Amino acid sequence: MAEQQSLPLGFVRGEPVIEKPEDLYIPPDALEVILDTFSGPMDLLLYLIRKQKLDIVDMPILTITRQYVEYVEMMKELKLELAADYLVMAAILAEIKSRLLLPKPPQEEDEEDDPRAELVRRLKEYEAIREGAEHIDSQPQVGRDILLSEVATDAREHVTTPPPEVTIEDLTLAFSRVLQQVELNAHHHIQREQLSTRQRMSQVIELLSEKKYVAFSQLFKRTEGRAGAVVSFLAILELVKESMIELSQVEPMSDIRISLRNRQQDESVTA
């Protein structure tokens, strides 16, 4: 370990720096922190440039490359699990360095052709993103800086689930579906009757459940007019046909009595 610790941690203007960078906290037993401190090769590169108080555009590629490689070498020496991304960057730097060292025709001395241009562009974009990360981190954050109010409420106890809604269309659709099934099982026959007749049948049955019998004439109301009379008459006929009611006459020409079928018989038996 002692030998490894004497490795230069970096170079400033060609001078090896044996001490760890002062602004980096590196516990003696945990040099891994170096890797944790930098979020990647771009971060390390940016650090090396800023360390010399230089602008990205003026990046001295030779110095930076040497320093970068020293860092990477040190990490390797320490057998830190080095992300391959650091080696990729080392290769990029080496390539730029070699291109810079190659002599080139004077006309082509053009800013566009600066082999550093691409890296400078990337560094600038990375720097902008670092700034963005700082902006985000300095925003008040729910759970860290601000807490949301949690106020008790009894409102949920008042929540009622409304009953399902049914439309007339739903109903007629359901009925026509039943009719289709009936048609399919041809042995059933649904008779053609006016709905008002069926309703009147219910009313007659209900009336007869309460009273033992009613007079035939009681089932006809003057206010309902002719149509009403027809409906009542049809309902009575249908009920007779379905053997649900019985008609009886005590004397000839007297009013006809209507009663539920069987009940009267039952009563006459017990009487």
Partner 1 sequence: MNQLQLKQLIEAALFAHPQPLSAEQLHQLLLSEGEASLTMVKGLLKELQTDYQERGIELVKVASGYRFQTRAELGQRLASLWQEKPQKYSQALLETLALIVYRQPITRGEIEQIRGVSVSSNIIKTLQERNWIKVVGHKEVPGRPQLYASTKEFLDDFNLSDLSELPDIDTLDEDDERTAETAINEREQ
Q: Which of residues 164-183 bind partner 1 (CB under 8 A)?
A: 164-168, 170-183
Nearer to partner 1, 167 or 254 (CB): 167
* 253 makes contact with partner 1 (CB under 8 A): no
For the CB of residue 196, give the shortest distance to partner 1 in the complex, in Å: 4
Question: Residue 243 interacts with partner 1 (CB under 8 A)?
Answer: yes
| Listed ranges 68-76, 99-107, 188-196, 247-255: which one lies at the site for partner 1 (CB under 8 A) | 188-196
Separation of alpha carbons 171 and 179, rounded Å = 12
Instruction: Work out whether 141 is an interface residue with partner 1 (CB under 8 A).
Output: yes
Does residue 97 interact with partner 1 by CB under 8 A? no
CB of residue 105 to partner 1, shortest distance in Å:
31
- The least distance separating partner 1 from the CB of residue 251, rounded to whole angstroms, comes to 25
User: Helix (H, G, I), strand (E, B), or coil: what is residue 116?
Assistant: coil
Q: Cβ distance 46 to 123 under 8 Å?
A: yes
244 binds partner 1 (CB under 8 A): yes
CB 23 within 8 A of CB 73: no
Q: How far is CA 167 from CA 160, 177, 188, in A?
A: 21, 15, 27
Residues 117-136 that bind partner 1 (CB under 8 A): 122, 124-136
Q: Smallest Cα–Cα separation from 220: which of 183, 184, 256?
A: 256
- Side chain identity at 228, as an amino acid letter? G
Find out whether 10 and 48 touch, Cβ atoms under 8 Å.
Answer: yes
Site for partner 1 in 28-57 (CB under 8 A): 39-43, 45, 50, 55
Cβ nearer to partner 1, comparing 5 with 176? 176
> What separation in angstroms does the CA of 269 have from each of 262, 263, 265?
10, 10, 6
Q: Is 185 in the site for partner 1 (CB under 8 A)?
A: yes
Q: Can residue 19 be called a binding residue for partner 1 (CB under 8 A)?
A: no
d(CA 73, CA 44): 14
Subset of residues 52 to 81 that bind partner 1, contact rule: CB under 8 A: 55
Number of shown-chain residues binding partner 1 (CB under 8 A): 97
CB 240 within 8 A of CB 247: yes
Q: Out of 72, 75, 89, 236, which residue is the one contacting partner 1 (CB under 8 A)?
A: 89
Question: Min. distance of Cβ 120 from partner 1 in angstroms?
Answer: 11
Per rule CB under 8 A, is residue 149 in the interface with partner 1?
yes
Which positions ≥6 away from 208 have C-beta within 8 Å?
214, 245, 258, 259, 260
